[in-house]
Structure 1
């Protein structure tokens, strides 16, 4: 699967819930934070509390607040597009900029796990554009479709 470059002209404004984790923590069920975050997101019906949300609205997983690189801590938010942030939720902004986008469709969570594997493999190539490590995001648009957008430095 070949990623494509997208230049986002406008930021995305979202509302949701957040946790902080590391890639190392995610490898152990006892310390993983991402799956419990999404479980809470669905159990508490977070998306449904955001004005403008519909069942057709995309869901977003946003990776931000990087302490350093892939080895450091980072924030993960489960969120939806929002024009206002309801009480009890956090504002999340995906900045404008260049993103390398990887797309797939299939059963979850296997498809997202496999797609992240493709992302990690892609960035092992020395010819790949350098990651910004400021914001990356997943967009779940229904029917098992996912796009993972990785912030990159000037990639042309």
Structure 2
């Protein structure tokens, strides 16, 4: 992991749901899987193969226990998508490679473990976090930090 600074706000376009972690642990109330299913069936076919795909976490109600928005997005605006901002700021970047979605699940486990440690060097902002899928088997997760 490393610290990166994003100097300018960036707009991406996608489909959004509102959820919370507690709901995502239960198959009956989980929404993120269906969000990605809709993105790949409705939006992805309209994108170029080189188009980067993002998962944006924003509008946090509080911390990891509150509600937040999740947006499956790309840099290209297509019909039916809405703009979401990736905020400028400091991010701690975690990377993973391997078969999806297992690789992204593993990197989020690493993130939870890191920020659960009270001695962690960095503290989460709970403002904007995002996943950048920069290859078919590669993801970088940017966690906003103080």
TM-score normalised by L of structure 2? 0.94
Cα separation, 2, equivalents of 1:94 and 1:150:
11
Alignment of 1:60-99 (within 5 A): 60-82=54-76, 85-99=77-91
1:117 aligns with 2:109: yes
Unaligned 5+ runs, structure 1? none
TM superposition outliers: structure 1 runs of 4+ over 3 Å:
none
Q: Give the number of equivalent residue pairs.
A: 145
Judge conservation of contact 1:105–1:143 (CA < 8 Å) in 2: no
Q: Which runs of 5+ in 2 are unaligned?
A: none
Matches of 1:48 and 1:123, distance apart in 2: 36
Tell me the TM-score normalised to structure 1 length: 0.88
Moved more, 33-42 or 86-95: 86-95
Match of 2:32 in 1: 34
Q: Give the drift of 1:138.
A: 0.4
The reply on whether 1:14 has 2:12 as its aligned counterpart is yes
